[in-house]
Amino acid sequence: MNKYITAIVISFALLLVSCESNSTSSEPTNEKVTLSVTIDHNFGQETVDPEVSMHTNSSGNEIRFSKLHYLMTNFVLVNSSGEEIVLDSSAAYINMADGRVSFDLPNIPEDDYTELRFLLGVDSTTNHQNPNLFAASSPLNPIINNLYWDWLDGFIFCSVEGYHYKDGQMKGAFAYHIGLDENLMKINIKNNFKVKKGTPLELNFDLAAYFESPNVINITENAPITHSDKAADFGLSSKLSENLLNAFSIKGDK
């Protein structure tokens, strides 16, 4: 009789654990949650409305942005004890004009954090792997992001496009495409933030900083298009990738 009871108990124990594939282990550490990250695209204090709003940079270029899209990978969160939460294969594709401005980072322990790091672009190994091997739904699938260019044998990390005006008259267009391993941008944002269930993390991408921090870019004094070839663009891509290091912030800082 005892054996029956044992069998029943074991089986029910199995039954209880067999459906738990989605829950996390019950270690005494903090609960792990899915962190939703949202990015706002602004020009200083002004909201950017793709293809519509006009913004004037410090060089006096009046700019209407048509496109801003980029890849973010290898996220790292540093908590207040200095421990790094490394999200190895994490990746996100952001497209401002399409309204694709949010993504999820799963399995983040609820905690107080002091730093967020990520790559703007992809590491060299990922950059040169066969692009057809990314999963269909992966942000790195070239069909999803339109940022893989065969001639470059790699990804464009960040693409900013738009039109520029002087005194309301259209002067032309610009297309700044930053790629190549040497331009990979390691973004490091230091600011306190909490990870808590149901609370999104809000980031800001400042397009004013993109044109002036620290390198002041005057659109009319540069080639209208760069594909990151330093010899051809007289250093424009290097300046822009330096500026991009200062374009991201966690909302509420500064």
Partner 1 sequence: MKNQLKFLLATLVLISIVLTSCNEDDTTTGPKDEFKTTPYTLVLPSNLPPAILPADNPLTHEGIALGKALFFEKMMSIDGTVSCGTCHNQGNAFTDNDKKFSEGIVGKLGDRNSMPIYNMFYHTKGFFWDGRAKLLRDQSLGPIENPLEMGETLENVVNKLQAESKYRNLFYKAFGDSTVNSLKMSLAMEQFMLTFVSGNSKFDKVERGEATYTDSEQRGKDLFSTEFENGSGVKGADCFHCHGSANFSNHEYMNNGLDTESEFTDMGRAKFTNRPTDNAKFKTPSLRNIAVTAPYMHDGRFATLEEVIEHYNSGIKASPTLDVNIHGIKNGMNLTNQEKLDLIAFLNTLTDEVFLSNQEYKESK
In the complex, which residues of this chain contact partner 1 (CB under 8 A)?
A: 3-4, 7-8, 10-12, 14-15, 18-19, 51-52, 66-67, 98, 131-132, 134-137, 141-144, 146, 148-151, 161-163, 170, 172-175, 223-225, 227, 229, 231-233
**CB of residue 232 to partner 1, shortest distance in Å:** 3
Between 223 and 245, name the residue whose CB sits nearer to partner 1.
223
Between 110 and 161, name the residue whose CB sits nearer to partner 1.
161
**CB of residue 106 to partner 1, shortest distance in Å:** 19
Q: How many CA atoms lie within 13 A of 230 on its CB side?
A: 8
Distances (CA, A) of 229 to 49, 173, 236: 30, 19, 9
**CB of residue 114 to partner 1, shortest distance in Å:** 37
How far apart CA 167 and CA 178 sit, in angstroms, is: 29
**CB of residue 67 to partner 1, shortest distance in Å:** 7
Note the maximum CA span of the chain. Answer: 93
Q: How many CA atoms lie within 13 A of 58 on its CB side?
A: 12
Backbone angles phi, psi at 112, to 5 degrees: -95, 130
**CB of residue 15 to partner 1, shortest distance in Å:** 5
How far apart CA 48 and CA 211 sit, in angstroms, is: 14
How far apart CA 159 and CA 215 sit, in angstroms, is: 18
